[in-house]
A = this chain, B = another copy of it.
Amino acid sequence: MTAYLELDAAAQDLLFREARTANTFTDEPVGEEQIQAIYDLVKWAPTSFNQQPLRVVLVRTPQARERLVQHMWDSNKEKTAAAPLVAILAADGEFHEQLPTVFPVFPNAKDAFFSDPAVREESARMNAALQVAYFIIGVRAAGLAAGPMSGLDTDAVAKEFFDANHKVLAVVNIGKPGENAWWDRLPRLEFDQVFRTV
């Protein structure tokens, strides 16, 4: 099947086939420049109206780490406490304030489509989720392992690190994979379970 892809095999492996959700990490730190390089790459991936609602808190101090870990599910506490870097990914429900700048081709989009907070929240969640996926791919592009988690009290983490307009979507552990970093591969759905032609 790889004959149908233009992406080279090493890149396929790095991003998809050999990349895995890591549960343990080495002590090697993850520098600010690596995260900047990841963003500098994945920022180009598309969102609806170019709205870019993703907001990220990088948890570096021990105090902040403690404030986060208390709100993780028990099964996620230990790895979140130990990972070299932890990122909290959220959707900004006030993304529309930046639309006139980021979507200048339709200066009225902010008022025409996004005056309703409920519409904004749904759009922010959907598009920030796309950006969560781009970020995970970006972490892998940097040769690092990502450990994305949804097992946490998202409301409590939002209150701790953001304001009321933000919805926390995921927490991602980042670093070089450690010993016994992953489970066996879990099964994926077959093509015919996912795709249908009409």
Binding site for B on A (CB under 8 A): 1-8, 10-12, 14-17, 19, 21, 31-46, 48, 50, 52, 54-61, 64, 98, 101-105, 123, 125-126, 129-134, 136-137, 140-143, 146, 148, 150, 161, 169, 183, 186-189, 191, 193-198
In angstroms, how far is the closest chain B Cβ from the Cβ of A177?
A: 13
When A56-B194, A196-B58, A198-B57 are in contact, do A10 and B12 touch as well, CB less than 8 Å? no
Copies in the complex: 2
In angstroms, how far is the closest chain B Cβ from the Cβ of A188?
A: 4
A7-B14 in contact (CB<8A): yes
Q: Please provide the 6 A-B residue pairs with the shortest distance between their CB atoms, ordered closest to farther.
A: A6-B143, A133-B133, A129-B129, A4-B37, A7-B141, A11-B11
A133-B142 in contact (CB<8A): no
A195-B11 in contact (CB<8A): no
A37-B133 in contact (CB<8A): no
A17-B46 in contact (CB<8A): no
In this complex, the member of A12, A101, A133, A186 whose beta carbon has the largest number of chain B beta carbons within 10 angstroms is A133
Q: Which residue of B has the minimal Cβ distance to A61?
A: B198
A-B contact pairs, 13 of them (CB 8 A): A2-B37, A5-B41, A7-B41, A19-B44, A36-B191, A46-B146, A102-B186, A102-B189, A104-B187, A105-B183, A130-B130, A130-B132, A133-B137
